[in-house]
Amino acid sequence: MKVAVIGAGYVGLTTSACFAHLGHDVVCADLDVERVARLNKGEVPILEDGLPELVAEGLASRRLRFVLGATNAVLDAGVVFLCVQTPESADGSADLSFVEDVAREIAGVLQPGTVVVTKSTVPVGSTRFVQRVLSESGARAEDVTVASNPEFLREGQAVHDFLHPDRIVIGCDDPGAAVRVSDLYRKVQSPVLVTDPASAEMIKYASNAFLATKVSFINAIANLCEAVDADVREVALGMGYDPRIGFQFLQPGPGYGGSCFPKDVAALLHTANQADSDFELLAGVIQVNRAQRERIVEKITNGAGGSLSEAVVAVWGLTFKAGTDDLRESSALAITRRLLEQGAAVRGYDPAAGERAAREVPGLDIAADPYEAAAGADVVAVLTEWDQFRWLDFDRVRDSLRNPAIVDARNLLDPAAMRRYGFRYDGVGRR
Ligand SMILES: NC(=O)c1ccc[n+]([C@@H]2O[C@H](COP(=O)([O-])OP(=O)(O)OC[C@H]3O[C@@H](n4cnc5c(N)ncnc54)[C@H](O)[C@@H]3O)[C@@H](O)[C@H]2O)c1
């Protein structure tokens, strides 16, 4: 089947390359001239395991092409996936302007019978919204069906998650269109859940909000553990063995970040407020997350001897989690900004996004490796859980610090080992 994908970001590029891998003819469009040119040469601009190989395979087989502008992609497509960004607006709602722009752009050139699918995360009611925009812009309602097919991939494992999803959700009032969309996934082993559009849209937000709630919950438990001298790692282990709870998303840290959770939780709360439906729990989740970042700043301040003015802080890890180069809404970056605001000199190291982080955060110095970042610092803060930080020469790190203090916001390191090396070690929720 001929598939058009609009947006060549984390979701759009993964979707395009994976659909081509599954045997479909895919045209992927973006507005970014340089991105499209690089992709047509096989250069993948984001860090995703296995993605360069799939893009190369798609280009070589000619099942994958990249074009500039949505209209050039949709001309003879049977299914069009909208994978553009839906950032947070000032009032917390999801900004649908990118989705709307694409719908207006493509309305006049869609083939009769096309299914337009929103894969971007969009609030309840967006399927109807897209249908309306398409109609207003010249698409005949009887010619075009709109469906929702939310994406659940995790950055860093996007290709794996796309090809081995836990579930495929398709929200559509037209059963024939739902079958056409599910047909695209027929080589993928996964339960397929066909729902009405509003439920599909809600499934995505409810899932992300639930995971964010787990993160805030374990962060609150971690803080309580510190107050009562319990160890959150033991607590999370003991909880996780219960299959009703599970181990995932029970790692305390500097608060959730990334391009999805913060904006999706805010958008769901906005939806609840608009619907006059009380959802104080979500407001609490956001509040705990905000406070957690501040708590890490406090720990770093203590590690530096009680004041950040004149202090030098080494920050290890800047992306929102390990395994990705994405800095969007990264807790590590938010904490770095707070450190700088409070007068610290910050030297950061990140294996995937150091240079870009320096461009985003004025005043942040970037080191070539974790040792260079630590040299002469008053405290080291581990803010992203990159595995390489476990395997450093900690004698060398200790000797190069002005003051041997480590704040481990990811509980990545072994506290007893760190104390044996001679560090003052502070993790999250650990005895
Ligand atoms: N990143 C994730 O892990 C993830 C996971 C699941 C769902 N989502 C959702 O998927 C959507 C996309 O997220 P992303 O991280 O891929 O965003 P992204 O910012 O990486 O990619 C969006 C791309 O769309 C392009 N674009 C914007 N307007 C366009 C237009 N008119 N024509 C052609 N291209 C256009 C942009 O240039 C950009 O390259 C969001 O709604 C997000 O919430 C993201």
pLDDT digit string (tens) for 380-397?
A: 999 999 999 999 999 999
Q: Based on the number of CB atoms within 10 Å of its own CB, is 89 exposed (0-12), middle (13-18) or buried (19 or more)?
A: middle
| Residue 141: pLDDT over 90 | no
Atom of ligand 1 nearest to the CA of 155: 3
246 within 8 A of 260, measured Cβ to Cβ: no
Whose Cα sits closest to atom 39 in ligand 1?
9
Q: Residue 168: what pLDDT? A: 98
As given in the structure block, the two tokens for residue 65 are 């092409």
As given in the structure block, the two tokens for residue 24 are 């479909």
Binding-site residues, ligand 1, Cβ < 6 A: 6-12, 29-32, 70, 83-86, 98, 101-102, 120-121, 151, 153, 155, 259-260
Average pLDDT of the chain, as a whole number: 97
Dist CA 101 CA 93 (whole Å): 17
| Residue 132: pLDDT over 90 | yes
- pLDDT > 70 in the chain, percent: 100
Q: Residue 295: what pLDDT? A: 98
| Residue 14: pLDDT over 90 | yes
Q: Based on the number of CB atoms within 10 Å of its own CB, is 189 exposed (0-12), middle (13-18) or buried (19 or more)?
A: exposed
What is the edge-to-edge ordering of all strands in the sheet holding 345-349? 365-366, 345-349, 312-316, 379-382, 405-408, 424-426
- How confident is the model over 258-315, as pLDDT tens digits? 999 999 999 999 999 999 999 999 999 999 999 999 999 999 999 999 999 999 999 9
Q: Residue 376: what pLDDT? A: 97
Structure letter (DSSP) for residue 387: G
Residue 30 has phi, psi (to 5 degrees) of -140, 165
Dist CA 409 CA 332 (whole Å): 9
Whose Cα sits closest to atom 43 in ligand 1?
121
| Residue 1: pLDDT over 90 | no
Q: Residue 339: what pLDDT? A: 98
- Pocket probe mutation, ligand 1, options 6, 10, 51, max atoms within 8 Å of Cβ: 10
Q: Residue 431: what pLDDT? A: 81
As given in the structure block, the two tokens for residue 69 are 């502008």
- Pocket probe mutation, ligand 1, options 11, 46, 80, 154, max atoms within 8 Å of Cβ: 11
Average pLDDT of the segment spanning 5-20: 98
Dist CA 252 CA 30 (whole Å): 37
Q: Residue 322: what pLDDT? A: 98
Q: Residue 71: what pLDDT? A: 97
Q: Residue 135: what pLDDT? A: 96
Atom of ligand 1 nearest to the CA of 121: 41
Enumerate residues 6+ apart whose C-beta is below 8 A from 15. Answer: 5, 81, 83, 119, 151, 162
